[in-house]
Amino acid sequence: MRIVIAIGGSILLKEYDNKRFENYAKIIKELNNDHEIFIVVGGGRPARDYIGVVRDMGESESICDEIGIQVTRINARLLQLALKDVSYPGIPTNFQEALEYSACDKIVIMGGTEPAHSTDAVASILAEYVGAELVINATSVDGLYDKDPNKFDDAKLINEVSTDELMEIISTNETKAGTYEFIDRTAIQIIKRSGIKTVVINGNAPENVKKAITEPIGTLIKS
Ligand code: UTP
């Protein structure tokens, strides 16, 4: 199966630790034996820190986004180094390049593309572009809850959600650089039009990425 895995920067860069990248690399190599894998890496804390500095300089949101994109590409490069020669040694800056690089039978890893969305959208567009069957979005939460699990003990994990329901839920979220929550609007629109199965899982344990292929886990977003 052709699979796009989006790994949040909040997972890979929870702290600066080579093991986080190497543990992910191990799982990705295993998956690569049976599947064709594309990876999109997020920005996490370093992206938000840099964006904060640039915003304080009075720069526009698009410039802030551009700085975030640069950080996602550095993070992608680190994962590429951890994967060694099973990964393609270049970071695609657009979807056509990603498809071209994949012709070498190597794992393609990319970060962001252009301003005004997050790497969630990059993963969805990439999946549509390369004809992937599944997007696994590894985040720092277990999935979507009916209410904030940090505030309410009785918050329940939602196993399945439609794109229309999800759009309503996130309609109040911010769309500023570094603040695209849970999953961004562009990603939801792409999931809706492409119908590509998308699962949001807790990526703090890399094994969950493997589980997401074979068993129900996290929140499934249905078109
Ligand atoms: P992320 O997708 O990582 O957002 O991109 P995030 O909210 O930090 O998510 P986690 O923590 O990795 O899960 C970081 C920032 O880079 C810019 C946005 O400003 C985003 O918030 N970006 C990223 C873009 O503008 N375009 C892209 O294609 C990707």
pLDDT at 201 over 70: yes
Give the CA count within 13 Å in the CB-facing half-sphere of 32: 20
pLDDT at 181 over 80: no
Q: What is the pLDDT of residues 97-106, one digit of tens each?
A: 999 999 999 9
d(CA 122, CA 38): 11
- Tell me, using a 6 A CB cutoff, whether residue 143 lines ligand 1: no
**Predicted pLDDT of residue 151:** 84
The residue type found at 71 is: V
**Predicted pLDDT of residue 7:** 98
Q: Which atom of ligand 1 is nearest the CA belonging to 178?
A: 21
> What distance in angstroms lies between residue 122's CA and the mean position of ligand 1's atoms?
10
Letter string b/e over residues 6-28, b meaning 16 or more CB atoms within 10 A of that residue's CB: bbbbbbbbeeeeeebbebbbebb
**Predicted pLDDT of residue 211:** 97
Q: What is the pLDDT of residues 102-161, one digit of tens each?
A: 999 999 999 999 999 999 999 999 999 999 999 999 998 899 888 877 788 898 999 999
**Predicted pLDDT of residue 173:** 63
Please state the separation of Cα 118 from the chain's center in Å. 8
Cβ of 76: how many Cβ atoms within 10 Å? 26
Ligand 1 site-directed mutation target among 119, 201, 204, most atoms within 8 Å of CB: 119
Phi-psi domain of 178 (left: phi exceeds 0; alpha: psi -120 through 50; beta: other)? left
Coil, strand or helix at 172: coil
**Predicted pLDDT of residue 152:** 86
- pTM value is 0.95
Ligand 1 site-directed mutation target among 93, 118, 141, 185, most atoms within 8 Å of CB: 118
- Tell me, using a 6 A CB cutoff, whether residue 206 lines ligand 1: no
- Tell me, using a 6 A CB cutoff, whether residue 9 lines ligand 1: yes
Q: Specify the range with the lowest mean pLDDT, choosing from 5-14, 46-55, 138-147.
A: 138-147
CA dihedral 77, 83, 89, 90 (to 10 degrees): -40
Q: Which atom of ligand 1 is nearest the CA belonging to 68?
A: 16
